[in-house]
Amino acid sequence: MSQHAAATGAIGPTVGHWIDGRSTQVEQGRHGRVFDPASGEVTASVHLADPTVVDRAVGSARRAAQEWRAATLTRRTQVMFAFRELLVRRRDELADIIVSEHGKVHADALGEVQRGLEVVEFACGLPDLLKGGFSENVSGGVDSYSLRQPLGVVAGITPFNFPAMVPLWMFPVAIACGNTFVLKPSERDPSAASRLAELFSEAGLPDGVLNVVNGDAEAVDALLTHPDVAAISFVGSTPIARHVFTTGTAHDKRVQALGGAKNHMVVLPDADVAEAADAAVSAGFGSAGERCMAIATVVAVGDVGDRLVPAIAERMAKLRVGPGRLPDSEMGPLITEAHRDRVAGYVDAGVAEGAEVVVDGREVVPDGAPAGGFWFGPTLLDHVSPGMSVYTDEIFGPVLGVVRVPSYPEAVELVNANPYGNGTAIFTADGGAARRFQHEIEVGMVGVNVPIPVPVAYYSFGGWKSSLFGDTHVYGREGVHFYTRGKVVTSRWPDPARRSQVDLGFPTSR
Ligand code: NAD
């Protein structure tokens, strides 16, 4: 049985669901296994919800929706501030949970909690975010005003690689807008989401406003087809994002589905090579490359590759791979054994197709680390060409490929021909080149001498092309827009000086 397959019974402690403001265990049905990726040991089971459990969570959210929608902006804001305070106090504990199930290093886990926290801080400004417009006297004695109102019950489906941050991209904004929420986190590292729900409850969130159901495709499909779910936010791989978008919209839901990525970092010959090498290593190997904004491909323009590749290799030799809980570790293991083997398969294929291995991480097991951990060392491939699977596919591991191109136009052509359009960066000292790049590159998030340009909480996150299905990006003002619908009221009050009369003409302003 593969590591992703569901075991029939529970092993060890079981991660249950969070429904109606309490932890909910369900005995019967399927369970998945949760691993410590640094040791390869099973540390817990997670119950995999069937449609009945999903229906219980949606039912709880539906019952809570009227009261939450009617809660004053002051009350909602107070609960959000209290949640923010609890997150600040509990960030270390949350990071420990992430490290134990995801494997990333503690500092990196703290970073993801911090970026999620910033979305909560953004959501604390909800009274201002939900303001509408008002126009006095659009016609004689007539005023018009606009409102944004919540959708009702909305759901979020999230990936394994940011078990706290990506859920925090979604539910604080949705709940601030007056919706109730059902979250389906990744079954591979489910515990952080449950803890977030518990903390929100402690902050005073009424029961049922936030529910967490654990599960796999069965739970996702139950949400996508549930008649009481008004909208779906999804973050994960492109094939599943496409499925979520087509199925959700076919069931009349509003859907934003963020998919996978293959991010390019273009380095021009005038770039500061030391800075570019630091950036490539940080963005290529942080979180073992398991980030949708990781740099997967360095596009070396002109002769810069001859200086850049040795500089990257020199820095890679100093990276400390090890268990995430050890303070010295800079890069942890991969999420599962199957994923580790898949990443190794891509490197094997790249080598067979003619890429040059500059640094080989295939046999790396850190000193003193349990051999059963899902280890894979940082790997650098030079002379990668666009036809190779190591270039075309999202590997989602610590593998950096270098594609060499003769000049700037070929670099732009390469990036724009790629089906993904999540993030990209240009490294150059030439402001004109950078300006031209941000104008002509077909990618949603662009860095200028910044390798991981994840927008801050008051902008919005989202890619183009196969990296996002739907129109709206997550969090920031676009998040508020996604989780609300507009209404415009045209109003006239009795005026003793005005005589009403029948008028069959189309209303025009007078
Ligand atoms: P995944 O697509 O396997 O899983 C994402 C979610 O979908 C999980 O909750 C999972 O349970 C569910 N799911 C899995 N298979 C399903 C199926 N057949 N039907 C319905 N639901 C299913 O992704 P992952 O491996 O957890 O995460 C890594 C992927 O997420 C990478 O492709 C990465 O680029 C992407 N990602 C994208 C962003 C972004 O913002 N664009 C951010 C983070 C991660």
Largest CA distance in the chain: 89
HEC per residue, 192-259: HHHHHHHHHHHCCCCCCCEEECCCCHHHHHHHHHCCCCCEEEEECCHHHHHHHHHHHHHCCCEEEEEC
For ligand 1, atom 30: residue with the closest CA: 236
pLDDT of residue 497: 87
Instruction: Write out pLDDT tens, residues 386-413.
Output: 999 999 999 999 999 999 999 999 999 9
Indicate if 245 and 310 belong to the same structural domain: no
Q: Does residue 132 lie in a domain region?
A: yes
> If you measure from the C-alpha of residue 406 to the centroid of ligand 1, how many angstroms do you get, rounded to a whole number?
36
230 shares its domain with 310: no
Confidence of residue 370 (pLDDT cuts 50, 70, 90): confident
pLDDT band of residue 369 (cuts 50, 70, 90) is confident
User: What pLDDT shows up at residue 33?
Assistant: 96
Q: Is residue 462 part of a domain?
A: no
Residue 184 to residues 102, 210, 369, 483: CA-CA distances in angstroms?
16, 11, 32, 17
Residues 148 and 486: beta-carbon distance below 8 Å: yes
Residues 125 and 59 in one domain: yes
**CA nearest to 463, candidates 267, 279, 230, 236:** 236
Domain limits at 111?
5-259+467-488
pLDDT at 4 exceeding the cut of 90: no
Asked if 303 and 417 sit in the same domain, the reply is yes
Angle at 8 between CA 6 and CA 14, to 5 degrees: 80
Percentage, residues of the chain above pLDDT 70: 98
Mutate to test the pocket of ligand 1, among 292, 336, 445 (most ligand atoms within 8 A of CB): 292
* Site to substitute for ligand 1 among 186, 223, 395, most atoms within 8 A of C-beta: 186
Predicted pLDDT at 371:
81
User: In whole angstroms, how far apart are CA 199 and each of 123, 192, 193, 203, 205?
Assistant: 16, 11, 10, 6, 9
Q: How many CB atoms lie within 10 A of CB 367?
A: 7
- Ligand 1 atom closest to Cα of residue 236: 30
Is the shortest distance between the CB of 467 and ligand 1 below 6 Å? yes
Domain co-membership, 268 together with 164? no
Mutate to test the pocket of ligand 1, among 161, 168, 246, 474 (most ligand atoms within 8 A of CB): 161
396 lines ligand 1 (CB under 6 A): yes
Query: Is 70 exceeded by the pLDDT of residue 135?
Result: yes
The pTM of the full predicted model, rounded to 2 decimals, is: 0.96
User: Does the pLDDT of residue 306 top 50, yes or no?
Assistant: yes
19: Cβ below 6 Å to ligand 1? no
- Tell me if 453 is assigned to some domain: no
Residue 99 domain flag: yes
Query: In angstroms, what CA-CA distances link 160 with 113, 208, 396, 398?
Result: 14, 24, 12, 16
Write out pLDDT tens, residues 77-127: 999 999 999 999 999 999 999 999 999 999 999 999 999 999 999 999 999
Q: What is the mean pLDDT of residues 18-45?
A: 96
Does 164 share its domain with 287? no
pLDDT tens across 171-183, in order? 999 999 999 999 9
**Has residue 5 got a pLDDT over 60?**
no
- What CATH number does the domain containing 161 carry? 3.40.605.10
pLDDT attached to residue 489: 98
CATH of the domain at 310: 3.40.309.10
CA of 237 to the centre of ligand 1 (A): 4
Structure tokens at 259: 């998919």
pLDDT digits (tens, 9 = 90+) for 178-228: 999 999 999 999 999 999 999 999 999 999 999 999 999 999 999 999 999
| 212 and 322, same domain (yes or no) | no
Which residue's C-alpha comes closest to atom 11 of ligand 1?
Answer: 216
Q: Catalytic amino acids?
A: 292
Q: Do both 367 and 278 map to the same domain?
A: yes
Q: Is the CB of 422 under 6 A from ligand 1?
A: yes
* Domain membership flag for residue 355: yes
> Do 124 and 155 reside in the same domain of the chain?
yes
**Would you say residue 496 lies in a domain?**
no
Which tens digit of pLDDT belongs to each residue from 65-86? Answer: 999 999 999 999 999 999 999 9
CB 216 less than 6 A from any atom of ligand 1: yes
Q: State the average pLDDT for the chain.
A: 96
Residue 201 shares a structural domain with residue 306 = no
| 26 and 111 together in one domain | yes
- Cα gap 420→468, rounded to integer Å: 9
Inform me whether the pLDDT recorded for 2 exceeds 50. no
pLDDT given for residue 18 in this prediction: 98
| Any domain includes 458 | no
For residue 474, pLDDT over 60 is answered with yes
pLDDT at position 7 over 60: no
* Domains identified in the chain, total number: 2
- Asked which of 395, 418, 448 is the last residue of a domain, the reply is 448
Look at residue 461 and tell me if it is in a domain. Answer: no
Please report the pLDDT score of residue 498 as a whole number. 85
383 in the same domain as 255 = no
